[in-house]
């Protein structure tokens, strides 16, 4: 069986973060400190543009975003509404009532901020972008994470970034998270459940190209902490379709190891079957854990993934899947 973990074509990175297949006989090389620092600086330089794009995407879907706002006990103003006989007169807003002949009261917003954690995988394979992809997987993941933070902030939710920032309850949470991320180290270590509280949500943006068994084990450990997980699977179009033909060189982005396929098209069937099996395993795992799974191709609109993720997150918050 052909393993998707060690494939990428020509001078492009390989699809995967794990060591190459044992049959290839090549070991993984760790990134040097200089390489990691260079990636962190490059990411910091891109963050302002990514944040602008994230706000554009967030605004696109905001009309359908309802969050969990409702009337209740709190400090923030929510709405004016007509006074109902029997209510305490202390709640009447006389200034608003003076504008016409009706009597109005102020409703406060129910304060029940939920904690949602974000985490974006920054493994080298996430930098991959083919000619068919609109953007690199990491750039799309960052945009989706910032856009989600923007929407959650508007809904009054508390949002944090694993390994980067504690949860924030702020209208400009996305901007504050971006500021923390700009000076944070590259995030390649899978988040640990010990850092999470019970009954919070964790959104993981990744291409999930580590061995499936390793990923499933990590997710199971996270589930033990009581967290509700949401996986956003980032895929470049060529990673799923494997459109290569003829003599093609594939290279691992972490080890630098290379293999040459004389007739790449002969690998397509086995590769596609293995990739589909990986996606199925991820989806089944999330179903078993009561989590959600969203597959997103980088040639599609970011808003599509954001709407799907919002639907899953809303179901999780209200107690369903």
162 and 96, same domain (yes or no): no
| Residues 225, 211 share a domain | yes
Place of tokens 């459940």: 193
Residue 195 included in any domain:
yes
Task: Please tell me whether residues 100 and 212 are part of one structural domain.
Answer: no
Q: Which domain holds residue 83?
A: 77-108
CB atoms within 10 A of CB 278: 19
Q: How many domains does the chain have?
A: 2
What is the reported pTM? 0.76
pLDDT (0 to 100) of residue 106 = 76
**98 and 237 co-located in one domain:** no
pLDDT, greater one: 30 or 35: 35
More confident residue, 35 or 173: 173
Task: Grade residue 313 by pLDDT with cuts at 50, 70 and 90.
Answer: confident
Asked if residue 163 is part of any domain, the answer here is yes
In a domain, 84, yes or no: yes
Looking at the structure, do residues 91 and 218 belong to the same domain, yes or no? no
DSSP for 158-227, please give it: EEEETTTEEEE--TTHHHHHHHHHHTSPP--SPPPGGG--TT-EEEEEE---S-HHHHHHHHHHHHHTTP
pLDDT of residue 76: 53
Same domain? For 177 and 90 the reply is no
- Nearest-angstrom CA–CA distance, 14 and 248: 12
* Average pLDDT in the chain: 80
Same domain, 175 and 246: yes
Looking at the fold, whether 102 and 135 belong to one and the same domain comes out as no
pLDDT at 112 over 60: no
CATH code, 225: 3.40.50.410
- Of residues 74 and 106, more confidence is placed in 106
- Mutual orientation of helices 33-61 and 173-182 as an angle, nearest 10°? 170
Q: How far apart are CA 256 and CA 279, in angstroms?
A: 25
- Strand 248-251 to 115-120 pairing: unpaired
Under DSSP, is residue 6 helix (H, G, I), strand (E, B) or coil?
Answer: helix
């Amino acid at each position: 069986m052909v393993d998707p973990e060690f494939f990428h074509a020509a001078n492009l990175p390989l699809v995967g973060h794990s060591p190459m297949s044992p049959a290839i006989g090549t070991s993984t090389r760790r990134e040097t400190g200089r390489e990691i620092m260079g990636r962190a600086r490059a990411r910091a330089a891109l963050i302002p543009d990514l944040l602008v794009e994230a706000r554009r995407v967030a605004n696109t879907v905001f009309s359908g975003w309802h969050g969990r706002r409702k009337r209740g006990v709190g400090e923030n103003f929510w709405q004016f509404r007509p006074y109902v006989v029997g209510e305490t007169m202390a709640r009447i807003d006389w200034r608003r009532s003076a504008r016409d002949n009706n009597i109005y009261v102020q409703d406060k917003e129910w304060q029940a901020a939920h904690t949602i954690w974000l985490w974006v995988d920054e493994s080298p394979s996430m930098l991959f972008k083919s000619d068919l992809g609109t953007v690199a997987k990491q750039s799309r993941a960052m945009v989706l994470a910032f856009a989600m933070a923007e929407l959650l902030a508007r809904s009054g939710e508390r949002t944090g970034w694993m390994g980067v920032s504690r949860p924030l309850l702020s209208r400009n949470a996305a901007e504050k998270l971006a500021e923390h991320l700009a000076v944070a180290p590259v995030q390649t270590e899978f988040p640990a459940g010990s850092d999470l509280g019970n009954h919070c949500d964790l959104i993981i943006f990744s291409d999930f190209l580590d061995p499936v068994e390793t990923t499933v084990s990590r997710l199971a450990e996270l589930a033990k902490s009581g967290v509700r997980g949401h996986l956003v699977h980032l895929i470049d179009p060529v990673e799923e379709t494997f459109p290569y033909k003829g003599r093609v060189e594939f290279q691992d982005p972490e080890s630098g190891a290379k293999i040459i396929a004389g007739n790449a098209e002969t690998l397509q069937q086995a590769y596609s079957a293995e990739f589909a099996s990986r996606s199925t395993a991820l989806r089944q795992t999330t179903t078993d854990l009561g989590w959600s799974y969203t597959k997103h191709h980088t040639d599609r609109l970011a808003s599509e993934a954001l709407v799907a993720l919002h639907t899953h997150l809303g179901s999780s918050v209200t107690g369903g899947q």
